[in-house]
């Protein structure tokens, strides 16, 4: 990419309060190539949750940043992330999405790897010379792997900062999610997998956009009001805030207008649930004090962990990642997260919330998908060059109805795409 193509990508006029993104960023292949190298190839990228592989031998295979990976818990209890490609001649060694295995046998010529990734079986091994070394033919691994409170991340950049430093202010918000459980959070079986004919960054914007709800999801809000939920006040309360959490991460937090299985009762949960949910609030107060318990239970948050992990802790908790396949097409995966100890009734409420609002069969996701695809179609008018993301830019305390959180993403994205030190490093190499 010529450096000139990197000029004029963003207008960030902090004096005038104008922020714009050039729509080339959503449509042109050259930016995608650069994103793959500088964003997905450098940052810490969410790969999965430890609860998905809780027993020795449990595995999940999935594509992360275009790479087929296996997340597996070894016979030693250690979680590893392995490249799902045979070190012989390349085949995927695991073609199942999930399961429990003692080993992975490549379907092509039957090389076999154990759950630690070691090569343990080579048919016809006597045909190889003495230089043939099983040890160097173990399954490969991403340069870095680490986890924070059960969330497993990988980085393909050996020089990436530590995960804890990378997560910066986002850790506090992950804590607010994870502290909802006394025994650990758990991803439910099953996933929502869908695709959108739109640029992946449009879903970043949408997932932390605090003011599209009323126009875009009108039907859902009518449904909630009809079922007795009081939507007034939540989004404008003093508890609401929008924050830049560092390294491109951002959050909006607000008094929840929705019912939350932990621990905000609404009439649609039914009278029977009331005492149970109030008891949870009491337990939270015991563990964390009234103020933090209130925040955990009564406020919701939409958290972006740069570049593509969304944790929306709203009426349920969705963990969502998505990857670009082409500039105008992305694949999305989303999972339901909840306290491992939650009883069947409350996890039933949670799953009902998860499916009612979120996901391809919910009230919200189809609306959002439609809007994102409509934006992408609109971008065909190449004469109209800029998208405007200026809302609330000169406010001292931006609200969740402003766009600070979206600008936070774009500023980091722009920084990574244009960083001169990367260009210098490449020249020196």
Query: Which partner from the list Fe ion, ligand FES, none does 111 bind, CB cut-off 5 to 8 Å by kind?
Result: ligand FES
Cβ-based nearer residue to ligand FES, 84 or 312: 84
Q: Is 234 helix (H, G, I), strand (E, B) or coil?
A: helix
Query: Which partner from the list Fe ion, ligand FES, none does 303 bind, CB cut-off 5 to 8 Å by kind?
Result: none
Q: How far is the CB of 195 from Fe ion (least distance, A)?
A: 17
Q: Is 219 helix (H, G, I), strand (E, B) or coil?
A: helix
Cβ-based nearer residue to ligand FES, 76 or 136: 136
Distance in angstroms (rounded) separating the CA atoms of residues 402 and 389: 9
Binder of ligand FES out of 22, 54, 91, 216 (CB under 6 A): 91
Cβ-based nearer residue to Fe ion, 50 or 368: 368
Query: Which partner from the list Fe ion, ligand FES, none does 200 bind, CB cut-off 5 to 8 Å by kind?
Result: none
Q: How far is the CB of 91 from ligand FES (least distance, A)?
A: 4
- Report the candidate in 337, 329, 347 with the shortest Cα–Cα distance to residue 280: 347
- Report the candidate in 2, 25, 15 with the shortest Cα–Cα distance to residue 414: 25
The region of 106-114, 214-222, 242-250, 311-319 touching ligand FES under the rule CB under 6 A is: 106-114
The region of 20-28, 87-95, 209-217, 413-421 touching ligand FES under the rule CB under 6 A is: 87-95
Q: What is the DSSP string of 336-405?
A: EEEETT--HHHHHHHHHHHHHHSSTTSSSHHHHHHHHHHHHHHTT-TT--EEE--TTTT-SS--TTSSHH
The owner of tokens 């600008």 is 407
Chain Cα centroid distance, residue 292: 24
Helical residues (DSSP H) of 127-186, grouped into ranges: 163-167, 170-178
Q: How far is the CB of 112 from ligand FES (least distance, A)?
A: 9
Query: Which partner from the list Fe ion, ligand FES, none does 276 bind, CB cut-off 5 to 8 Å by kind?
Result: none
Query: Which partner from the list Fe ion, ligand FES, none does 86 bind, CB cut-off 5 to 8 Å by kind?
Result: ligand FES
Binder of ligand FES out of 30, 33, 78, 90 (CB under 6 A): 90
Q: How far is the CB of 84 from ligand FES (least distance, A)?
A: 11
89 binds ligand FES (CB under 6 A): yes
Binder of ligand FES out of 5, 37, 56, 88 (CB under 6 A): 88
Tell me how crowded residue 378 is: count the other CB atoms within 10 A of its CB. Answer: 12
Q: How far is the CB of 113 from ligand FES (least distance, A)?
A: 9
Q: How far is the CB of 145 from ligand FES (least distance, A)?
A: 23
111 binds ligand FES (CB under 6 A): yes
Chain Cα centroid distance, residue 63: 13
Listed in sequence order, the residues at least 6 apart from 264 whose beta carbon sits closer than 8 Å to its beta carbon are 256, 258, 277, 297, 298
* Footprint of Fe ion (CB under 5 A): 364, 368
Six token digits for residue 408: 């936070």
Distance in angstroms (rounded) separating the CA atoms of residues 80 and 118: 12
The region of 22-30, 69-77, 84-92, 210-218 touching ligand FES under the rule CB under 6 A is: 84-92
Distance in angstroms (rounded) separating the CA atoms of residues 12 and 10: 6
108 binds ligand FES (CB under 6 A): yes
Query: Which partner from the list Fe ion, ligand FES, none does 108 bind, CB cut-off 5 to 8 Å by kind?
Result: ligand FES
Q: How far is the CB of 302 from ligand FES (least distance, A)?
A: 43
Most distant CA pair in the chain: distance in Å?
Answer: 75
| Alpha-carbon Rg for the chain in angstroms | 23
Six token digits for residue 30: 């050259």
109 binds ligand FES (CB under 6 A): yes
Exposed e or buried b per residue across 58-72, where buried means at least 16 C-beta atoms within 10 angstroms of its C-beta: bbbbbebbebbbbbb
134 binds ligand FES (CB under 6 A): no
Q: Say how many residues touch ligand FES, by CB under 6 A.
A: 10
Cβ-based nearer residue to Fe ion, 69 or 310: 310
- Counting every residue, how long is the chain? 429
For ligand FES, the binding residues (CB under 6 A) are 86, 88-91, 106, 108-111
């Amino acid at each position: 990419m010529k450096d000139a193509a990197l000029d004029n990508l963003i207008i960030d006029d902090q004096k005038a309060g104008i922020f714009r993104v050039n729509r080339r960023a959503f449509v042109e292949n050259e930016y995608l190539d650069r994103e793959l190298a500088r964003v997905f190839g450098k940052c810490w990228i969410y790969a999965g949750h430890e609860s998905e592989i809780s027993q020795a031998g449990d595995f999940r295979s999935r594509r992360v940043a275009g790479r087929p990976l296996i997340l597996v818990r070894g016979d030693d209890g250690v979680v590893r992330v392995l490249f799902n490609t045979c070190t012989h001649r390349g085949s995927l060694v695991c073609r199942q999405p999930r399961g429990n295995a003692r080993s992975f046998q490549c379907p092509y010529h039957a090389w076999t790897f154990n759950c630690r990734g070691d090569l343990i079986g080579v048919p016809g091994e006597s045909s190889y010379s003495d230089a043939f070394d099983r040890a160097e033919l173990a399954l490969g691994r991403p340069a870095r792997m680490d986890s924070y409170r059960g969330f497993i991340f990988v980085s393909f950049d050996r020089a990436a900062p530590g995960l804890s430093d990378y997560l910066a202010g986002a850790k506090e918000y992950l804590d607010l999610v994870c502290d909802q459980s006394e025994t650990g959070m758990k991803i439910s079986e099953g996933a929502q997998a869908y695709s959108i004919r739109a640029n992946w960054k449009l879903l970043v914007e949408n997932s932390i956009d605090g003011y599209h709800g009323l126009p875009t999801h009108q039907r859902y809000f009518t449904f909630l009001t009809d079922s007795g939920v009081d939507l007034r006040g939540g989004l404008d309360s003093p508890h609401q805030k929008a924050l830049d959490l560092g390294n491109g991460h951002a959050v909006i937090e607000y008094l929840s207008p929705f019912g939350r299985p932990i621990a905000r009762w609404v009439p649609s949960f039914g009278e029977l649930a009331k005492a149970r949910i109030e008891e949870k609030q009491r337990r939270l107060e015991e563990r964390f004090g009234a103020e933090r318990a209130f925040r955990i239970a009564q406020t919701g948050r939409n958290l972006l962990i740069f570049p593509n992990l969304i944790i929306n802790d709203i009426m349920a908790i969705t963990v969502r990642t998505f990857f670009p396949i082409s500039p105008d097409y992305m694949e999305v995966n989303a999972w339901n997260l909840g306290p491992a100890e939650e009883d069947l009734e409350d996890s039933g409420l949670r799953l009902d919330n998860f499916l009612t609002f979120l996901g391809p069969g919910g009230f919200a996701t189809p609306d959002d998908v439609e809007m994102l695809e409509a934006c992408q179609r609109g971008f065909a008018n190449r004469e109209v060059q800029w998208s405007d993301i200026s809302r609330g830019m000169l406010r001292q305390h931006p609200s969740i109805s402003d766009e600070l959180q979206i600008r936070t993403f774009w500023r980091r994205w722009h920084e990574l795409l244009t960083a001169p030190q990367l260009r210098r490093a490449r020249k020196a190499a």
